[in-house]
Structure 1
Amino acid sequence: MPDWQFRRPFLGLALALSTALALPLAAANAHGQASAAQLERSVHLRESWQYLTRDVAWPANWTPDGKAFAYRRTVEGGFAFELVSLDGLGRSAPFDHARLAEALGKALGKPIEPLRLPFTEFTYADAERSAIRFGLDYEPWECSLADYTCRKLAFPGRPRGFGVVRDLTVPADNHPRVSPDGKWSAQVEDDNLVVRSAGGKVVQVRSVDGTPGNFYDPETIAWSPDSGHLMIYRVNPGYARHVLRVAAAPEDSLQPQLRSQLYPKPGDAIDQEQPVLFDVASGKQTVIDNTLFPNPYELSTPRWRADGASAEFDYVRRGFQQARVIAVDAQTGAAHAAVTENAKTFVYADRRFVHDVDGLGKEIIWASERDGWNHLYRFDGRTGKVLNQITKGDWVVREVVRVDDEARQIWFAASGMNPGEDPYFIHYYRIDFDGKNLVALTPEKANHTARFSPDMQYFVDTYSRVDLPTVSVLRRASDGSAVATISKGDITRLVAAGFKAPEPFVAKGRDGKTDIWGLVVRPTNYDPSRTYPVIENIYAGPHDSFVPKTFWPFGYHSGGDKVMGMQMLADLGFIVVQIDGMGTANRSKAFHDVAWKDLADSGFPDRIAWHRALAAKNPSYDISRVGIYGASAGGQSTLNALLFHGDFYKAGFAMAGCFDNRMDKISWNEQWLGWPVDASYTAASGVEHADKLTGKLFLLWGEQDSNVDPASSMQVVDALVKAGKDFDMLVVPGEEHSVGRSSGPIDYVNRRMFRFFTEALEQGE
């Protein structure tokens, strides 16, 4: 496991792993550095504390028939899944934990403990509950409950690099798509669409304009419900950029291996999809005029309306400043915009919501930030005009759970509606299409996750705060009234071990008006008469907000495990904080827009103001010694703290950073920096600004990172060396984007980070 340290530029690479392991930290010295024993205690704190709670529950998942729900809870020695029957609330195990652990361990090639199953939720694969499915390391798995065998599931269809460039080395799923009436079968042959009779003898439709460079994609075939038409996309393929990575120490070979990944980057040519309509009876082909959807970044798979008279698809223009629902008449092929959303900055593509009422295209429910907050609107799908705004106020719709067309009601999650409460707390509501009869379903002042039964009669409400252990309650979906308490967290033993809840802190941001929310984690032996260096855990990605709101250390919304890591670091003699500055999501549109074309901002003016406000209130908070750490986008922000705000931040531990946005994945970066690639991409580049580095820097990344091109980190190294800057660096062989945080050498990585900060900050440097 190589560990290269650049103590002096141009003096070469020194392998220092053996020294790092052989020379543990001495006992606390005159500068207050942590002793070896203190360091080891922090490294293993998660393991020591993680199993001290009882009945701390995770969100539930319902059985397909809605007669029961299952959830995970803490028990003696670990975690166990429990199945609760709606009839009588009887409880049982949903599966044999020991047999499942044995089967999964066999499939993974490593031992799994029955009370340490490596997933937090599962769903049933079928109505008979014969198998369960869950995610493991970002891949789908299935385990049979009949014979207890486990297997990794294959992703269906042809892969696409970040959703926009097809991997043409993998064959498309070209199985026959049978029409709803069973009379016809559609496939692609020699790049052209072919429709045959069910028996396969009569060719009814055959296109002739498909070529390898402009082919029909069988995975986009969509039949009309009356079987009279189908729509398919003809594809002009984009640029198949591949990132190459060397596996220096592969487990199955002495010699290094070269690995390749389809990895489109900002500005690359992407697949261009052209909708084409076919009339089955006549064989007529209509290429849909793309005037209303030019230069698409994304077209969704076509959806036919219930009456078969028209089809629709979602469109996002490249650059993310326009989104539309495009409707196409089945008879004429004429297209019109059923909904149009324009933005001067960005349309937040991942938070779009569209629902076609009754499936007929006459009314469409749509989420929009056009009034400055994310709300729901009802559109006339024929004219594209707003019929009425459904939700309204200085708060944010976070998710639409269910739309009931017959009752004309919507169940949704929102945050910021309740005065005097943390504006990020999620609550659940029901409202009518006309915006009337708003019903609050989750009254407790906490952060909620609701899982509704298939028939929408009940839901399991799992709620908590950082200072409130998790409570799980069965409620009626009609009014939120409680049916029964399912579980209630008990932290008696955790408190006895020294646990103290993190403290929310609110201060004004850069404008002197906007509340900025953060979290403070202090050492378990905190002494207010002492002064403590400060370390900020940063993640400023515009795609969400990140300060944990659920109970520590088992947060299921955002960052429970990260808070555990913050406590581990705090116990070495620091105050560790996390802050959501401007530019992050889940507040107003104006709050979010700060990130547009300015990822270097990272909310730093708000963060520094927040730090100063806490220091003014708490003399033990020493902002003359502030460190910062983060991973991925947080790694980029960490480096930028030392490049652009080195007068405030003195040390940074940057992990797996996307240090130059031109080097990173296309999807995330074009969403926030737009298209075409312009100067905003280089404004936040650690490569371009490496000469500005001040303070202590440690760079860490995984050799096999498939999320962020690891060459981005090495390019920063190159620029820092050329600029004559001292820094430390560690590349972890074989590791992914998690760089040891969720798997692999986690203890080693933690030990290196903890040592770095005790050396960089405790000595007052």
Structure 2
Amino acid sequence: MKKLILLICAFNALTISAQNITLENIWGGKYYPQSLYGINSMNDGEHYSIQEQNGIYKYAYQSFINKQDSKELIVSGSFDEYKFSSDEKYILVLTESIPIYRHSVKGKWQIYDREKKSFQTIFDGKPIQEPTFSPDAKKVAFAFENNLYYQDLTSNKVTQITKDGKKNEIINGITDWVYEEEFAFVRHFDWNADGSAIAFVRFDESAVKEFHIPIYGQNLYPEEMRFKYPKAGEDNSKVSLHLFGLESNKIENISLSSVENYYIPQIKFTKDKNTLAVLTCNRHQNKVDVNFVDISSKKVSKLFTETDKAWIETDKFTFEFLDNNNFLWASERDGNRHIYQYDKSGKLVKQITKGDWEVTEYYGFDSNDKTVYFQSNSFNGKRISTEKHIYKINLDGSKMEMLSLKNGTNSADFSKNFKYFIHNYSSISEPSVYNLNDGKKPHEYGVILNNSDIKTRLSADNMGTKELFTLKTEKGHELNAWIIKPKDFDSKKKYPVLLYQYSGPGSQEVANSWIDMNDQWHFMLAQKGYLVVCVDGRGTGGKGTEFKKQTYLNLGKMEVEDQIDTAKVLAKYEYVDASRIGIWGWSYGGFMSSNAILRAGDVFKMAIAVAPVTNWRYYDSVYTERFLRTPQENPKGYDENSPMTYATQFNDKEDKFLLVHGTADDNVHLQNAMELSESLIQADKQFEMMIYPDKNHGIYGGKTRIQLYRKMTNFILENL
């Protein structure tokens, strides 16, 4: 009988365990939603292509209306990326890809000829970057080892455009580390409309200081990764604009001395083969010149200058060309990001979108009916800062219409003719679903892919609840928030609370969208008896420029105050144990959680900081100076909010701190964690530290993620 009881107990324990969310299930992908990869509308506007596991497939939009299968294999194979030529006769496909930094990748690229059903290798299969078809689909330009080339697809002849490229010195047509990371793109060259010329930006990073990272990799002597990393206030690459003529086979320099030219965030040819649009800006990134370059005469004409008392986000959509070189421009000048129309001389024609809400994404312009398509956080004209919806509006600013139908987060991939769009929708209660929608009116045709099984799996594993709410601090700040509670939540009990946040300028963690993998872990913690809360403090996005830019020149002051004030509000909830409130975050969130535990140990019991910035002096120039200017100009803004400044205040007798970093983090260097740890050591403070060998800012690979989250879970269980 005793054995039988033990067996029954063991079976019940296994059953209970199987019904709970586990780290193995989270990082094993049990709750990971399916997605559509590589959605590409075909030229006819009636079909689209998708990248699947065994090839690239073509579908008819109509198949989801008439319920007839239209799946057609375009090319079989396992590809990492693909690009069509303008006439869709050829497809560039990537295999054997090797990641470089956040966006950059090199690898073997081939061209698939859809008529001949054959492959043609680019540059003999050498690992190239950013291959791009010419508009006439007769050539492909690309970068290799910091130089630009193009390959004629008829003769297979390869022409080397630049010859001075050299690692850690000169880069042609590809961005340097800081441009890639902070302006969020890699290719910095462009074909003109008839394929007769290529404009490109050259980076001279000779004066930029190198950063060295040891790579262990079980080598007897570690290898060393060396790359140019401009820190705040230090030298950046010197950038210059150049033009290569295919017929002359010559490179010509284009002088930008008449305009702002410290950074060149964008170059893009207009529909006119002789007109190149160039965005240039100052080092503070609060003055942007919009310029046209006549490539025949090399004349640079400044159309207008956009200024801001804080900063201008050139890494987001800024301009789109219409007919006759008129263009659309995005600006925050009226307090929200909106779309404006300019003529080719730089004269403002009209502000197209208006209202106390903001444009969050631009989708395109239908020249047939003069309609602009975009995403915004407006819901029928009223801002809902936690949501995103899909809209169209006439070019003259009339007849704005919402095309998405449900509250939540909506995004779109439009057909080339804007007749349809593939609609990706999710909410706090509904996993991502892909529908086919009408592009001209608010109408849903049918479901392409849904993830209802993910919700079923989480529900079966006793997922708790996630609720959106507004938290008001004692200072009167109303902040977006969410709370995760266990399924068996009892308001008469006292629960410990873990705060999670990111808090970086313009970021948003609180949204009416489906849960990510961090939230899956948060639900697991809720099952263990915790409440998890997230609050977007001042300086975050979705509420207009005044709310977002009030932290300018003082990063970490208001944001940390808001997390401390949040904890004080939560401490008064009848179901919160005020003596057990913790905080954690990654990157900017790690900067925040470090500050919180060191500056407000009376409020927070424990903190975890993963890959944190610990002093903005150690971070890159473009990001940091955008919000703080240089350390030489604003030393207080750097030092007064650095967690290192408060190391002596850490109450290690009562509070617990876990510091985590990867040794190969090229973004937020290990130096940050080392300097903070040295400050704590010299203050004679006890804390815990976890270092991940050869891991970058994402800290992943093999068993790394599950080991990290198990470490954090145990630290929370032991100290909160």
**1:188 to 1:722, Cα distance in 2 relative to 1, 3 A:** same
Q: Which residue of 1 aligns with 2:404?
A: 442
Contact 2:20 2:527 in 1 (8 A): no
Which residue identity does 2:709 align to in structure 1?
N
**SS across alignment from 1:410:** strand
Which residue identity does 1:51 align to in structure 2?
K
**1:642 to 1:136, Cα distance in 2 relative to 1, 3 A:** farther
**1:187 to 1:485, Cα distance in 2 relative to 1, 3 A:** closer
Unmatched 5+ residue regions in structure 1? 1-35, 105-118, 158-168, 179-184, 192-210, 553-559
Q: Which residue of 2 aligns with 1:155?
A: 129
**1:338 to 1:439, Cα distance in 2 relative to 1, 3 A:** same
Shift of 1:224: 6.1
Distance of 2:279 and 2:620 partners within structure 1: 22
Residue 565 (structure 1) aligned with residue 543 (structure 2): no
Higher mean alpha-carbon deviation, 601-610 vs 473-482, is at: 601-610
Contact 2:464 2:523 in 1 (8 A): no
Q: Which residue of 1 aligns with 2:179?
A: none
For 1:753-764, list aligned pairs within 5 A: 753-761=712-720
Distance of 2:54 and 2:613 partners within structure 1: 35
- Of structures 1 and 2, the one with the larger relative CO (CA 8 A, separation 6+) is 1
Shift of 1:93: 7.6
Residue 708 (structure 1) aligned with residue 668 (structure 2): yes
Could you report, residue by residue, the CA deviation over 1:68-103 in whole angstroms, capped at 9, with x for unpaired residues? 456799xxxx99999754343445888899x97xx7
Distance of 2:54 and 2:642 partners within structure 1: 43
**SS across alignment from 1:647:** coil
Higher mean alpha-carbon deviation, 590-599 vs 679-688, is at: 679-688
Residue 647 (structure 1) aligned with residue 602 (structure 2): yes
Distance of 1:259 and 1:186 partners within structure 2: 28
Contact 1:311 1:327 in 2 (8 A): yes
Q: Which residue of 1 aligns with 2:293?
A: 328
**1:175 to 1:88, Cα distance in 2 relative to 1, 3 A:** closer
**1:564 to 1:79, Cα distance in 2 relative to 1, 3 A:** farther
Shift of 1:548: 4.6
Q: Which residue of 1 aligns with 2:622?
A: 667
Residue 344 (structure 1) aligned with residue 309 (structure 2): yes
Which residue identity does 1:357 align to in structure 2?
L
Which residue identity does 1:239 align to in structure 2?
A
Instruction: Normalising by structure 2, report the TM-score.
Output: 0.78
Could you report, residue by residue, the CA deviation over 1:395-425 in whole angstroms, capped at 9, with x for unpaired residues? 0100111023453321001013447874221
**1:421 to 1:152, Cα distance in 2 relative to 1, 3 A:** farther
Contact 1:425 1:447 in 2 (8 A): yes
Distance of 1:444 and 1:403 partners within structure 2: 24
Q: Which residue of 2 aligns with 1:494?
A: 458
**1:572 to 1:212, Cα distance in 2 relative to 1, 3 A:** closer
Which residue identity does 1:379 align to in structure 2?
Y
Unmatched 5+ residue regions in structure 2? 1-15, 132-142, 153-158, 175-187
**1:217 to 1:745, Cα distance in 2 relative to 1, 3 A:** closer
Which residue identity does 1:432 align to in structure 2?
N
**1:484 to 1:224, Cα distance in 2 relative to 1, 3 A:** closer
**SS across alignment from 1:425:** coil
**SS across alignment from 1:594:** helix
Higher mean alpha-carbon deviation, 562-571 vs 133-142, is at: 133-142
Q: Which residue of 2 aligns with 1:293?
A: 260
Q: Which residue of 2 aligns with 1:626?
A: 581
Number of residue equivalences: 647
**1:526 to 1:79, Cα distance in 2 relative to 1, 3 A:** farther
Distance of 2:281 and 2:384 partners within structure 1: 33
Contact 1:397 1:413 in 2 (8 A): yes
Distance of 1:229 and 1:516 partners within structure 2: 51
Distance of 1:338 and 1:43 partners within structure 2: 55
* Among 527, 548, 553, the residue aligned to 2:490: 527
Shift of 1:237: 4.1
Which residue identity does 1:599 align to in structure 2?
L
Q: Which residue of 2 aligns with 1:3?
A: none
Could you report, residue by residue, the CA deviation over 1:269-317 in whole angstroms, capped at 9, with x for unpaired residues? 2222344679999x997863523214x1235336356062x43201121
Which residue identity does 1:648 align to in structure 2?
V
Residue 720 (structure 1) aligned with residue 686 (structure 2): no
**1:143 to 1:506, Cα distance in 2 relative to 1, 3 A:** farther
Could you report, residue by residue, the CA deviation over 1:328-370 in whole angstroms, capped at 9, with x for unpaired residues? 345665433213211111112222411232252xx33111111
Distance of 1:326 and 1:454 partners within structure 2: 28
Distance of 2:710 and 2:200 partners within structure 1: 54
Distance of 1:411 and 1:171 partners within structure 2: 39
Q: Which residue of 1 aligns with 2:23?
A: 43
Which residue identity does 2:364 align to in structure 1?
R
**1:648 to 1:44, Cα distance in 2 relative to 1, 3 A:** same
* Among 276, 289, 308, the residue aligned to 1:311: 276
Q: Which residue of 2 aligns with 1:481?
A: 443
**1:619 to 1:81, Cα distance in 2 relative to 1, 3 A:** farther
Shift of 1:227: 9.0
For 1:283-432, list aligned pairs within 5 A: 288=255, 290-294=257-261, 296-301=262-267, 303=269, 306=272, 308=274, 310-329=275-294, 333-358=298-323, 360=325, 363-382=326-345, 384-418=346-380, 422-432=384-394
Distance of 1:173 and 1:612 partners within structure 2: 56
Shift of 1:268: 2.2
**1:705 to 1:217, Cα distance in 2 relative to 1, 3 A:** closer
Contact 1:42 1:569 in 2 (8 A): no
Residue 260 (structure 1) aligned with residue 217 (structure 2): no
* Among 468, 479, 501, the residue aligned to 1:516: 479
Contact 1:239 1:268 in 2 (8 A): no
Shift of 1:686: 2.6
**SS across alignment from 1:708:** coil
**SS across alignment from 2:551:** coil
Q: Which residue of 1 aligns with 2:139?
A: none
Distance of 1:421 and 1:366 partners within structure 2: 21
* Among 173, 198, 203, the residue aligned to 2:147: 173
Which residue identity does 1:730 align to in structure 2?
M
Shift of 1:469: 3.4
Could you report, residue by residue, the CA deviation over 1:207-264 in whole angstroms, capped at 9, with x for unpaired residues? xxxx99998957777776689988666765452322222234x14x344333323322
Which residue identity does 1:568 align to in structure 2?
M
Q: Which residue of 2 aligns with 1:61?
A: 39
Contact 1:652 1:698 in 2 (8 A): yes
- Percent of aligned positions with the same letter in both sequences? 22
Contact 1:400 1:413 in 2 (8 A): yes
Distance of 2:328 and 2:575 partners within structure 1: 51
Shift of 1:449: 1.8
Distance of 1:442 and 1:392 partners within structure 2: 19
**SS across alignment from 2:617:** coil
Distance of 2:375 and 2:162 partners within structure 1: 42
Which residue identity does 1:727 align to in structure 2?
F
**1:244 to 1:366, Cα distance in 2 relative to 1, 3 A:** same
Q: Which residue of 2 aligns with 1:197?
A: none
